[in-house]
Amino acid sequence: MMLTRHLILNPAAALLLATAAMAAPAADTSAGTQLEYWSAQAGAPGQAARGQAFFTSRHGGEWSCSSCHGTPPIREGRHATTDKSINPLAPAFNPRSFTDSARSDKWFRRNCKDVLNRECSAGEKADVLAYLLQLKP
C-alpha cells in the first residue's frame, strides 16, 4: 500500500475545499497524517518526549525552534529577528497548522537550516509532530 500524507477526498469534499481555498490555502493534509507519513519514512513512530527536547534545544547555533515559536508553542510566537507575530504552531491551538504539505515542507526546510544548519531528518520531523500533537488546551 502506498502511504500518502494527503487526505483522500471524494469529489464533493474536493469541491467544498476548493471553495474554501479562495479564502485560505488548500488543506491537503493534517498534522496527524503528517505524523504518520514521517514516522513511516523514518521507520519508527515519532516520540513526543524526544520531539520536545529537539524543539527546545539549540543545536549548536543561536536559535532553537522555540526561539520563535515559544515554549510550549501554543500561543502566538514572535520572529526572533523581526518580531513579526507567528500563529501558534500546535495544531490544537491553530486549526491551519500542518494542513498544507507544501507549506510545511517549505518551513521545515527553511527553519531547520536556520536552527540546525541542515535539513531535518524524517525521524526528527516525526518527533516534533508527536510533541506538537500532544499539546492540548
Partner 1 sequence: MSLPHHTHPGHALAALLSSLSLALGLAGPAAADDDERGMPRPVPPAYSSECGSCHLAFPPGALPAASWKHIMAGLDKHYGSNASLDDATRRQLDTWLQTHAGTWKRVGEAPPEDRITRSAWFQRKHRHIRDAVWTHASVKRPANCSACHPGAERGDFDDDHLKIPPGLPLHLRWAWFD
Q: Could you list the residues that contact partner 1 (CB under 8 A)?
A: 79, 81-84, 109-111, 113-114
Which of 115/128 has CB closer to partner 1? 115
Long-range contacts of 93-97, Cβ-Cβ distance < 8 Å, separation of 24 or more:
93/135, 93/137, 96/24, 96/25, 96/27, 97/31, 97/132
Q: Look up residue 66 and give its amino acid.
A: S
Question: In angstroms, what is the minimal distance from the CB of 49 to partner 1?
Answer: 27
Question: In angstroms, what is the minimal distance from the CB of 3 to partner 1?
Answer: 24
Which of 10/82 has CB closer to partner 1? 82
- The three-class DSSP label of residue 32 is helix
Q: In this structure, what C-alpha cell is assigned to residue 103? A: 507549506
Q: In this structure, what C-alpha cell is assigned to residue 81? A: 529577528
As a whole number of angstroms, the distance between CA 43 and CA 108 comes to 19
- The three-class DSSP label of residue 114 is helix
Question: In angstroms, what is the minimal distance from the CB of 103 to partner 1?
Answer: 9
Which of 58/79 has CB closer to partner 1? 79
Which of 50/103 has CB closer to partner 1? 103
Question: In angstroms, what is the minimal distance from the CB of 25 to partner 1?
Answer: 8
